[in-house]
Amino acid sequence: MRDLDRVVRVTGLPLVMGVVNVTPDSFSDGGRYDDTGRAIAHGLSLLADGADLLDVGGESTRPGATRPLLADELGRVVPVIEALAARGATVSVDTMRATVAARAVEAGATIINDVSGGLADPEILDVAAQTGATYVAMHWRAHSATMQDFTDYGPEGVVAAVRAELAERVSAIRAAGVADERIVLDPGLGFAKLAEHNWELVRRLDVLAELGFPLLVGASRKTFLGRLLADEHGEPRAVGEREAAGIALSALLGAGMGGAPVWCLRVHDVRAHRDGLAVAAQWTGHTVDRATGAAEEQA
């Protein structure tokens, strides 16, 4: 297994997290990997493509989505995590539920990726503290059914507001007993955000980095990229045709254009985004050893 900390500290080049959505309705790849066997096969192919971590989720968070039953979410993610962890993958579980997080860690996940940052089910913070898992806290304001009603960021603007709201989450996470070196923050692109909010956030990651934690960014295939590429009638580009824009963004972030190093990029097409990062690595003077994935500073 790669030394994840070393890669982020030595080079500043982001890790790549491959998305394994075990859901019938995710907006980017819903229904494609919604049975256990197909999800495991997809995870293995993402690893072969060079994923540093795999993010396994059983709840769609696309705008307007309704929540799955707990039993359904467990049934989706636990067997997939077990199989992928058994193959040596570093696995994160994408869940807002404490029970799912606990069972996922038992099954071999070492990262809890909570898009609600502990707001949906505060007990998830105790699970993170007790298990010693790494905890990703994303900026979030409401469940997907209503989140687009919460896009008002007031006179301070989205960047300052997201920073302040993430700082509040950090206080809660610390109070639950999670160690600082286990905390990762995420601006939550597309969650209670208008398109321009997402662009402001990716340009000002330095403001979020001031909080002192590694940053994870998930832009892959999101609606703001579709809107950027809208046709002459204003119709956003279809979800399956946004990849090139996402890769361009990954390359820019990998080259530090967000104003701060990104610890990890959450993407669907791992191989394509790694290609973009290879360009960023050349640009910034880093090489990536394709055999081991370890990045080194060029002499």
For 282, the token pair is 């050349």
Site for ligand PMM in 98-137 (CB under 6 A): 113, 115, 136
Per CB under 6 A, the segment of 26-34, 98-106, 117-125, 271-279 that binds ligand PMM is: 26-34
Could you identify the residue written with the tokens 């636990």? 78
- Is residue 19 involved in binding ligand PMM (CB under 6 A)? yes
Q: Which candidate, 99, 32, 47, places its Cα nearest to that of 239?
A: 32
Could you give the angle at which helices 157-175 and 195-203 cross, rounded to 10 degrees? 70
Does residue 269 touch ligand PMM according to CB under 6 A?
Answer: no
Binding piece for ligand PMM, criterion CB under 6 A, among 3-11, 141-149, 159-167, 182-190? 182-190
Contact between 61 and ligand PMM per CB under 6 A: yes
- Closest separation between CB of residue 190 and ligand PMM, Å? 7
Q: Of the listed pieces 24-32, 76-84, 104-112, 125-133, which binds ligand PMM according to CB under 6 A?
A: 24-32
By the rule CB under 6 A, 216 interacts with ligand PMM: yes
The nearer residue to ligand PMM, 268 or 286, going by C-beta atoms, is 268
Interacting residues with ligand PMM between 217 and 246 (CB under 6 A): 218, 221
Judged by CB under 6 A, the number of residues near ligand PMM is: 19
Q: Does 144 bind ligand PMM (CB under 6 A)?
A: no
Mark whether 222 is an active-site residue: yes
Least spacing, CB of residue 252 vs ligand PMM, in Å = 17
Q: What is the 3-state secondary structure (H, E, C) of the chain?
A: CCCHHHHHHHHCCCEEEEEEECCCCCCCCCCCCCCHHHHHHHHHHHHHCCCCEEEEECCCCCCCCCCCCHHHHHHHHHHHHHHHHHCCCCEEEECCCHHHHHHHHHCCCCEEEECCCCCCCCHHHHHHHHHCCEEEEECCCCCCCCHHHCCCCCCCHHHHHHHHHHHHHHHHHHHCCCCHHHEEEECCCCCCCCHHHHHHHHHCHHHHHCCCCCEEECCCCCHHHHHHCCCCCCCCCCHHHCHHHHHHHHHHHHCCCCCCCCCEEEECCHHHHHHHHHHHHHHHCEEECCCCCCEEECC
Considering the rule CB under 6 A, would residue 158 count as an interface residue with ligand PMM? no
**In the complex, least distance from residue 59 CB atom to ligand PMM, rounded to whole angstroms:** 9
Q: Tokens for 294? A: 């370890």
* Active-site annotation holder among 222, 227, 271, 274: 222
Q: Respond yes or no: is residue 193 known to be catalytic.
A: no
Binding residue for ligand PMM, selected from 12, 15, 21, 281, defined by CB under 6 A: 21
CA 17 – CA 158 distance, rounded (Å): 25
Question: Closest distance between ligand PMM and the C-beta of residue 81, in Å?
Answer: 15
Report if residue 52 touches ligand PMM, rule: CB under 6 A. no
Catalytic pick among 266, 271, 274, 290: 266
Quick one: 76 or 286, whose CB is closer to ligand PMM? 76
- Would you please indicate which residues are annotated as catalytic (active-site) residues? 222, 266
Q: Which residues bind ligand PMM (CB under 6 A)?
A: 19, 21, 26-28, 61-62, 94, 113, 115, 136, 138, 186, 188-189, 216, 218, 221, 266
